[in-house]
């Protein structure tokens, strides 16, 4: 099972070819892709038309879902953020800390297209999928 970050899903739904989006296309139907709630929210809120929203929602419906944030996890993820800051790394979006922390805590590899995750993986035990 893997997690696919919003950055890759956006490329996929916009028809942008790239190593990560192409791998996601390959994995859909062949590999279990876990959909954390925060990624589902980020992704679905971005669709401009009702038609695109419904199409995406239908495609994502069969994927297993999981809650990424709880009060205990919020405290734990803040420690990840602080550890990164101590190393001089600032992650731009709190959601990325939640997604990265969720993957670390559940030992799930992450397919992404966002440099913040590369920075996280340089300090934290975040397993990234290299699609090339």
SS3 label, residue 34:
strand
Q: What is the pTM of this model?
A: 0.94
How far is Cα 81 from Cα 95, in angstroms, rounded to an integer?
11
Q: Across all residues in the chain, what is the average pLDDT?
A: 95
* Residue 37 annotated as lining a ligand binding site: no
Beta carbons of 44 and 6 less than 8 angstroms apart: no
Spatial neighbors of 31 by CB under 8 A, at least 6 apart, are 1, 2
Strand arrangement, sheet containing 110-111:
65-66, 33-36, 2-4, 110-111
How far is Cα 106 from Cα 83, in angstroms, rounded to an integer?
19
Q: What is the pLDDT of residues 69-122, one digit of tens each?
A: 999 999 999 999 999 999 999 999 999 999 999 999 999 999 999 999 999 999
Spatial neighbors of 67 by CB under 8 A, at least 6 apart, are 36, 37
Query: What is the fold of 2-121?
Result: Rossmann fold (3.40.50)
* Residue 105 annotated as lining a ligand binding site: no
| pLDDT higher than 90, residue 131 | no
Q: What's the pLDDT at 18? A: 93
């Amino acid at each position: 099972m893997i997690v696919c970050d919003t950055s890759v899903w956006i490329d996929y739904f916009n028809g942008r070819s790239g190593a990560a989006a192409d791998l996601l296309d390959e994995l859909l139907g062949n590999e279990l892709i876990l959909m954390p709630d925060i990624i589902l929210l980020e992704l679905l809120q971005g669709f401009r038309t009702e038609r695109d929203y419904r199409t995406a929602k239908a495609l994502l419906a069969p994927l297993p879902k999981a809650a990424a944030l709880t009060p205990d996890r919020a405290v734990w993820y803040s420690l990840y953020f602080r550890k990164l800051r101590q190393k001089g790394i600032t992650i731009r979006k709190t959601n990325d800390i939640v997604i990265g922390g969720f993957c670390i805590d559940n030992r799930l590899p992450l397919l992404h297209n966002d440099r913040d995750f590369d920075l996280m993986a340089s300090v934290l035990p975040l397993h990234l999928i290299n699609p090339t």
